[in-house]
Amino acid sequence: MKKTLPLIILAFFILPSSVLAVDSVPLTVSPVRQQMEMKPGETSTAILKLINISESPISGTIKVVDFIIEDDQGTPVFLEDKNFSSNYSAASWVKLPYDRLTIPANDKIEIQFKIKTDLDALPGGHYAGIIFEAVGQTLEPVQDVDQTSSGASIAPRIATLLYITIPGDYEEMALVTKFHTPKFSQHGPLDIDTTILNQSPSHIRPTGIITITNMFGDVLTHLPLEEQNIFPQAERTFKNTIPTKWLFGRYQAHLQAAYGTQGKSLNALIYFTVIPVALIIYIIIFITAIIFLVKHYAKKNKTHEQELETEIEKLKEELKQS
């Protein structure tokens, strides 16, 4: 399938090296996502807003680097080595007006930057990140779940990711490499993992649902795939959960998804069985115990009745003899 619409997506991203909750970072970026149409050799401008929500000014450096995706969770790896070369590179296309800045307390700065694509830019996806890192400042130590200090102060570092697509003749291709849930379980909830490999030269964003039906063909639930970008020649794993705890029998999970500009389809089918073995064993033990008690008391009553009959017969004999 051929793709003709170019696209730039500007997405806000907190660097994974900063293990902070989003609301702990005193910086935000706007807009979250921005789209543009460009061609090889075209020049465009975009605006990035850095917002300081703290009570103190924040100074730092700002730079552009390439990034790639290496894991199945979509985590960007920033390539700060200037010697990096790739068909997906876009850092050299982005020109910032300066490399240092200070954001006043409770204020914002608008940065207008230029993007100029190469005349010989290859069709497909090209990627870069604009990173701002505070200099000479740190955040307060992060509190762990148990409310004890982690003891580490971390410099605020945020980035904006640029997904640039150059129009041209190329085929969008993707396939499901993994669609899995345990084949046998005793109870729910059950996790379903879906891994999709993007074989296209540009990123894709699949959409779809997983339909769960029971052995009678009745629909138990629909589970939507979370909409996430998949980097070229990379995999991404989508996680879903069947929330129902008590299940019994054989079930079917059917993935129906679509991707690309013309909605190419992705399908996968698996079967799994849920039998609450432990519960069944407990029920069998309970029923067996009830049966045993019933038989025991029945036998005891029968023995007692026989003893009574014997006593009655003895009394009858004594009466006859008297």
- pLDDT in the model for residue 84: 60
Give CA–CA dist 306/91, Å, rounded: 99
Closest CA to 270 of 187, 184, 183, 206: 183
Final residue in a domain of this structure, among 138, 169, 200: 169
- pLDDT in the model for residue 289: 82
Q: Judge if 123 and 155 occupy the same domain.
A: yes
Q: Judge if 46 and 62 occupy the same domain.
A: yes
Give CA–CA dist 193/307, Å, rounded: 69
Range of the domain at 221: 174-274
- pLDDT in the model for residue 174: 97
Q: Judge if 118 and 9 occupy the same domain.
A: yes
Final residue in a domain of this structure, among 258, 274, 290: 274
- pLDDT in the model for residue 288: 85
- pLDDT in the model for residue 16: 44
Final residue in a domain of this structure, among 169, 194, 212: 169
Q: Judge if 32 and 137 occupy the same domain.
A: yes
Q: Judge if 245 and 316 occupy the same domain.
A: no
Q: Judge if 190 and 314 occupy the same domain.
A: no
Question: What is the SS3 assignment for 289?
Answer: helix
- pLDDT in the model for residue 82: 60
Q: Judge if 142 and 25 occupy the same domain.
A: yes
List the pLDDT tens digit at each of the 322 positions of the chain. Answer: 444 444 444 444 445 433 333 344 588 887 666 767 789 999 999 999 999 999 999 999 999 999 888 888 888 888 887 666 678 899 999 999 999 999 999 999 999 999 999 999 999 999 999 999 988 765 443 333 333 333 334 457 788 999 999 998 889 999 999 999 999 999 999 999 999 999 999 999 999 999 999 999 999 999 999 999 999 999 999 999 999 999 999 999 999 999 988 899 999 999 999 998 777 787 888 888 888 888 878 777 777 667 677 777 777 776 777 6
Q: Judge if 304 and 267 occupy the same domain.
A: no
Q: Judge if 223 and 75 occupy the same domain.
A: no
Number of independent structural domains in the chain = 3
Q: Which residue matches tokens 């070229």?
A: 232
* 201: number of Cβ within 10 Å: 22
Q: Which residue matches tokens 């990711």?
A: 161
CATH number at residue 252: 2.60.40.10
- pLDDT in the model for residue 32: 61
Convert 242-265 to b/e letters by CB count within 10 Å (16 or more is b): beeeebeeebebebbbebbeeebe
Q: Judge if 161 and 21 occupy the same domain.
A: yes
Q: Judge if 160 and 179 occupy the same domain.
A: no
The answer to whether the beta carbons of residues 167 and 123 sit under 8 Å apart is: yes
CA–CA–CA angle 176, 180, 182 (5° rounding): 170
- pLDDT in the model for residue 99: 95
Q: Judge if 33 and 142 occupy the same domain.
A: yes
